[in-house]
Amino acid sequence: MEKEEAKAKETEAEDNPAEDKPTKEEQKEKAPSTQKSEDIISKANTAAARIEEATKELTVQLDRQEAMKVEETLGGKTEAGQGKVEITPEEYAKKVMANDIETTTT
């Protein structure tokens, strides 16, 4: 009895293709869209990899810039590239007595 049921199911499957299996025409219709989506995904992955690489490079460059800025600041340089000149009170008194003070008029 089981053999007869199995044979009946086999002949039925041959006569009626399963709904899950697409026909050749359906496969041809679906193939370009899957290829397009695969192309889009691969392009997106490539772009993501480039962005990650660029982000790493920018991080390295930013770290370098920060280190340079700290070094300049601690070294006494201003943003204009000129060093700060501090005058002690004794030096100022000497310049005043020698009349060597630069005055600005506005």
Q: How confident is the model at residue 85 (pLDDT cuts 50, 70, 90)?
A: confident
Q: Are 97 and 104 spatial neighbours (Cβ–Cβ below 8 Å)? A: no
Q: What does the pLDDT read at residue 21?
A: 64
Q: Let me know the angle formed at the C-alpha of 62 by 57 and 68, rounded to the nearest 5 degrees.
A: 130
Hey, what are 95's tokens?
């310049």
Instruction: Give me the residue spans of the domains in the chain.
Output: 30-99
Pair of tokens at residue 12: 């039925």
For 31-80, the pLDDT digits (tens) are 667 888 889 999 999 999 999 999 999 999 999 999 998 888 887 766 66
